[in-house]
Amino acid sequence: MNKLMIGRYLPGDSLVHKMDPRGKIVLVFYFIWLVFFADNVWSYLTVGLFTLLAVLLTRIKLIYFWRGIQPAIFLILFTVLIQVFFTRGGQVYWAWGPFALSSAGVVNAWFIFFRLVIIIAMSTLLTLTTSPLDISGALSSLMTPLKWVHVPVDIIALMLSIALRFVPTLMDETVRIMNAQRARGVDFGSGSLAQQIKAIVPILIPLFVSAMHHAEDLDDAMTARGYRTDAPRTAFRVIQWHQRDTLSVVAFAALTAVVFLVRMP
């Protein structure tokens, strides 16, 4: 569990950490879209260098980014191999039935490889440098326009933040229930598939019941502190847009210009 880097957050005070989370989310998604426009060595070099620069700016050790890519390594190799053996074009070196090794295939495989690595590195960068709290704040802020179509944005935002806040609580509880059931002789992770699924029930039901208790108590506590779903509220946590965020938008605009300039005509 500790090895998994997906969704992990590493606190820090680098330039990337301090960016407005709304801007960061939008720009990362934009970047992923942009990567698909790269179609030659120069454009890949541009987005690749940009990614490397962004990664270096986080001042997070490269090993963490490597760990982000690790779980996807088989997927990357698989895709690359399919590209290598099934693409025909350019000079064909070797062919056998549907398989072929061609210059176009090799080039395509390299491109796919870089594309996947860059996308994973950039999304790892987003989660490593943005706290879940900031992500939920940013998402609710980005959802604000949906108020016009009567989406209860504030309630969704509160639900999201409560859900995030209870993740560690429920994780602890799961471990406690598992240990309590183990102490009573329940065997997890062995036996046939059907037996293993059955062994989950003594975890799931107590967890479900205790989640209900949490909810009831939290409901009382929130009501006692004056929370009303229909009443307007003020906000304690506000996200601020700084000059560095404007600069990062400018950097992404420049990157876009370069990518489109060096693209094949």
Partner 1 sequence: MLYHQKEGEGQMTEEAPIITMENVTVRYAEQEQPALDGISLTIPAHSWTALIGHNGSGKSTLIKALDGLVTIDGGTMTVAGLTVNEENIWQIRRRLGVVFQNPENQFVGATVADDVAFGLENAQVPRPAMVDRVAAALEQVGMTAYAEREPAHLSGGQKQRVAIAGILALAPDIIALDEATSMLDPEGRASVLRTIRTLKAQENLTILSVTHDLEEAAAADHVIVIDNGHLVASGTPPEIFAQGAALIDMGLSVPFTEQLKTDLEAGGITLPAGYLNEEEMAAQLWKLYSTM
Contact residues: partner 1, CB under 8 A: 132-133, 136, 161-162, 164-165, 168-169, 172, 213-214, 217-218, 220-228, 231-238
Give the shortest CB-190-to-partner 1 separation in angstroms.
31
Nearer to partner 1, 174 or 256 (CB): 174
Shortest spacing between CB 17 and partner 1, in angstroms:
14
Tokens linked to 215: 């909810």
Rounded to a whole number of angstroms, the minimum distance from the CB of residue 211 to partner 1 is 11
Contacts of 137 (CB under 8 A, 6+ apart): 21, 157, 161, 237, 239
Q: How far is the CB of 135 from partner 1 (least distance, A)?
A: 11
Scored b (16 or more CB within 10 A) or e, 28-41 reads beebeebbeebeee
> Taking the complex as a whole, how short is the minimal distance between the CB of residue 217 and partner 1, in angstroms?
4
| CA diameter of the chain | 75
If the CB atoms of residues 173 and 263 are measured against partner 1, the closer one turns out to be 173
Closer to partner 1 at the Cβ: 4 or 261?
4
Rounded to the nearest 5 percent, the helix, strand and coil shares of the chain are 70, 5, 25
Nearer to partner 1 (CB atom), residue 64 or residue 154:
154
Q: Give Cβ neighbours of residue 237 (< 8 Å, ≥ 6 apart).
A: 133, 137
Rg (CA), the chain: 24
Residue bearing tokens 């796919």: 112
Nearer to partner 1, 161 or 256 (CB): 161
